Amino acid sequence: MKRIELNAYGVPEDVAVCAEVPDVGAPEVGEVVFDVIAFPINPADISFCRGGYRIKPPFPATPGAECVGRVSAAGAGVTHVKPGDLVINLQRENWAQRRRVKGADAIRVPTGVDLRQAAMLRINPPTALLLLTDIVDVPAGGGWVIQNVANSAVGRLVISIAKRRGLRTVNVVRRADVFDELKALGADVLLLDGPDLAARVKEATGGANIPLGLDAVSGAATARIAACVSDGGTVCTYGAMSGEGPQAMTVADLIYRGVTQTGFMLGRFLAKRSAAEIEKIYAELAAGLMDGTFSAPVDHVYAIEDIRAALIRAQEGGRDGKVLVAPNGPI
């Protein structure tokens, strides 16, 4: 079977190779084997390849924080999934044609779900959801949230989920050609990032109270979001697309206005929940995929042998969506 392997950390398209490796074998007691149907290339996977991610396993290392697969065999004692079922995997190393995992890590998703969307279910949808529920209480019935990278997969999900929860969003992006798409998703205010952002936000919202700012750019952009939240508001950094750090905030925002700065990592926030609560979150998000409440656009789907081209494309700005890889044939 084929698997993506790194034997060094560095430029992703140079270090990631499609290797022929022994098959994963039959499932043991409590295990599940599934064929990987598709996996996305997320910013965290790019950091992983570069050796900049928080996890840096010994070589050969296989990236891949998420995927969707079809169960081919279930070991003794596994009752929640059977061959033919679609699953997402709560564990890593998913850039491969086949995976053998603990049964508890294989979460069943509904038959009939869009396979491309299911490949992106594990990380970004719960991230968007928990950013809106777990950081501060944004008042239902029209409370405001501001976010940058609003046209990213997470940003689009924030717009859709916020809309469903009765919240309003100020959406900051770095190019105006995405305004119409985001408006169609339900974005209330759209602005380009840059100087005077806080003044432009104030004008566009009529000086609304904005208790929560979401930042995935980092560096100077964090300060621009911090300047937009209300006195006593919170800025939550959950990504660093600019590669800049540290996350700056002015002394005035920190001291005079009492703005709080915090951070989010999905694993940390899921770890506060029981297995049953996590399953419930994914069931609700999968239902949202099924009924079309939200989705993430896909730029292109590559074969696993074309991992080099896929990685190059995934690092280009201005894409029309996510880059996916389908390791067992076209989807």
Select 66 or 188, whichever has its Cβ closest to ligand NAP. Answer: 66
CA distances to 16, 17, 196, 315 from 304, in Å: 11, 10, 44, 17
Select 127 or 234, whichever has its Cβ closest to ligand NAP. Answer: 127
Residue length of the chain:
331
Dihedral angle of Cα 245, 134, 272, 56, to the nearest 10 degrees: -20
Interface residue with ligand NAP among 94, 97, 152, 160 (CB under 6 A) is: 152
Kindly indicate which of the ranges 19-27, 41-49, 134-142, 280-288 contains the residues binding ligand NAP, using the contact rule CB under 6 A. 41-49
Tell me which residue of 204, 206, 207, 247 sits closest to 231, measured CA to CA.
Answer: 207
Q: How far is the CB of 139 from ligand NAP (least distance, A)?
A: 24
Interface residue with ligand NAP among 138, 187, 266, 281 (CB under 6 A) is: 266
Which residues in the 208-237 window bind ligand NAP by CB under 6 A? Answer: 216-217
H or E stretch at 146:
strand 144-147
Query: How would you classify the pairing of strands 212-215 and 144-147?
Result: parallel
Select 152 or 234, whichever has its Cβ closest to ligand NAP. Answer: 152
Check binding of 149 to ligand NAP (CB under 6 A).
yes
Letters for 46-65 (x = contact with ligand NAP by CB under 6 A, - = none) are --------------------
Interface residue with ligand NAP among 104, 241, 278, 290 (CB under 6 A) is: 241
Interface residue with ligand NAP among 127, 147, 160, 295 (CB under 6 A) is: 127
Q: How far is the CB of 142 from ligand NAP (least distance, A)?
A: 25
Query: How would you classify the pairing of strands 298-303 and 212-215?
Result: unpaired
| Relative orientation angle of helices 124-133 and 153-164, to the nearest 10 degrees | 50
Check binding of 199 to ligand NAP (CB under 6 A).
no
Select 28 or 277, whichever has its Cβ closest to ligand NAP. Answer: 277
- Quick check: bond before 60 cis, omega within 30? yes
26 contacts: CB under 8 Å, gap ≥ 6: 33, 73, 75
Tell me which residue of 102, 106, 181, 168 sits closest to 139, measured CA to CA.
Answer: 168
* C-beta of residue 121 within 8 angstroms of C-beta of residue 131: no
Interface residue with ligand NAP among 94, 151, 160, 171 (CB under 6 A) is: 151
Q: Return the residue nearest ligand NAP (CB atom).
A: 239
User: Residues in the site for ligand NAP, rule: CB under 6 A?
Assistant: 42-44, 123-124, 127, 149, 151-154, 174-175, 216-217, 238-239, 241-242, 264-266, 317-318, 322
